[in-house]
Amino acid sequence: MSAKKLFIQTLGCAMNVRDSEHMVAELTQKENYSLTENIKEADLILINTCSVREKPVHKLFSEVGSFEKVKKKDAKIGVCGCTASHLGNEIFRRAPYVDFVLGARNISKIAEAVNTPKFISVDIDYDESEFAFADFRNSIYKSYINISIGCDKHCTYCIVPHTRGDEISIPFDIIYNEAKKAVQKGAKEIFLLGQNVNNYGKRFRNNHKKMDFSDLLEELSTIEGLERIRFTSPHPLHMDDKFLEVFSQNPKICKSMHMPLQSGSNEILKAMKRGYTKEWYLNRALKLRELCPNVSISTDIIVAFPGESEKDFEDTMDVLEKVRFEQMFSFKYSKRPLTKAATMPNQIDPEVASQRLSILQNRHNEILDEIVEKQNDKEFKVLFEELRPNNSIAGRTDNNFLVQVEHSEELLGQIKNVKIKNAKRMVLYGELI
């Protein structure tokens, strides 16, 4: 029997990318599907949704509406992920042509969903931490690996705890075996995923080997053939000295740290329920710079959170000046359903929000240009993983700069020394040494 065709669209974060890989694995290996990039020939169309970015509900119904118009007659449409978790049955009401709805914490049920009319499962307490997924990866050189699911933080602006449930760690042996198998199949790098990775080990489903995130990193680094370990996202609250020292000293851990700031104001951080202060954040970031001079630090910042004053915004700018982030993801605050911040008083005028975001981004671009200029004539080890036009190939340095050289696909999956010749804000152009 010929394989049925599966088309999948993934929105949002790296965890969604990994969830999509899990669903593809279950369907291709257990339900006789094969992937297609042509939506018109698909027998099954999946959209794996995100609730974090702006207007996710509008995005969902716009996309599934366009799918319905182009799909072939008997093709099924499934809505999965975070927006599925919080909308549930409303998806069937607003888009009756959708065949099933599967929440972010229920993706192990994908085969059952495909085979059950109007199936819905959006339980955020469902525990998949010990489920043995089939294996599929978009890249043979890099492997995403979940180390926890859910989040206990309940930041007042964030919908994730309402879509992915409480945090639970995945047992070490499952993570280790998955990493080892990926390396045996050609992966040079593993990318560990969790809402707060450095809170790993606080809660397991059953009795398992106790360890914290630093211990997990050290154990995984013993895998023979594994060259690089990355992870996202750590929480500033859990960046103890042990974690920073293991990060700095272990040569297999890539020297790229994501430190979500959100705000530099203690008042706003308290209103956000972030759990740390501006002083703690600066202490951790500057200690990291001291321990690991070649580290690159990235961050997330929200401007115009409810009640943010000019002084609060100046505190955020002060952190920007002191840390000088190599990468910054910045947004105007926008309301999310089910979150406390959505009903807070003193919502900020959109024009003021836009002005503050522009000031923040313009100053960061100036800092970034200074950082980038210093990369000229430096030498980096680059893991090449992406073909680009005009006979070029690109990859990442240990500290996460994107580097492009002129070369052919034979470099894919290899780590090579590169000297930077023309450093630009988005890409460092170099030559093989």
Q: C-alpha distances in angstroms, 48 versus 140, 162, 235, 351, 382?
A: 22, 16, 25, 33, 31
Would you say 151 is a known binding-site residue? yes
Q: Which of 77, 160, 86, 167 is nearest to 123 (CA)?
A: 86
- Specify the pLDDT at position 261: 98
Would you say 292 is a known binding-site residue? no
Entry pTM: 0.92
Please state whether beta strands 100-103 and 76-81 pair in parallel, antiparallel, or not at all (unpaired).
Answer: parallel
Taking 80 as the threshold, does the pLDDT of residue 1 lie above it? no
Minimum mean pLDDT range among 32-46, 196-210, 345-359: 196-210
Is the domain 142-372 a CATH 3.80.30.20 member? yes
Is the domain 4-121 a CATH 3.30.560.10 member? no
Amino acid at 31: E
Q: What is the mean pLDDT of residues 303-329?
A: 98
**Interatomic CA distance for residues 110 and 103, integer angstroms:** 10
Would you say 50 is a known binding-site residue? yes
169 is written with which tokens?
């760690």
Would you say 80 is a known binding-site residue? no
Q: What is the mean pLDDT of residues 8-14?
A: 91
Residues near 362 by beta carbon (within 8 Å), at least 6 away in sequence: none
Taking 80 as the threshold, does the pLDDT of residue 352 lie above it? yes
**Interatomic CA distance for residues 44 and 46, integer angstroms:** 7
| Homologous superfamily of 378-432 | Nucleic acid-binding proteins (2.40.50.140)
List the domain boundaries for the chain.
Answer: 4-121, 142-372, 378-432
75 is written with which tokens?
């093709």
Digit-coded pLDDT (tens) for 353-368: 999 999 999 999 999 9
**Interatomic CA distance for residues 58 and 42, integer angstroms:** 24
Q: What is the mean pLDDT of residues 204-208?
A: 83
Query: What residues does 78 pair with on adjacent strands?
Result: 46, 100
Percent of the chain exceeding pLDDT 70 equals: 99
**Interatomic CA distance for residues 92 and 295, integer angstroms:** 47
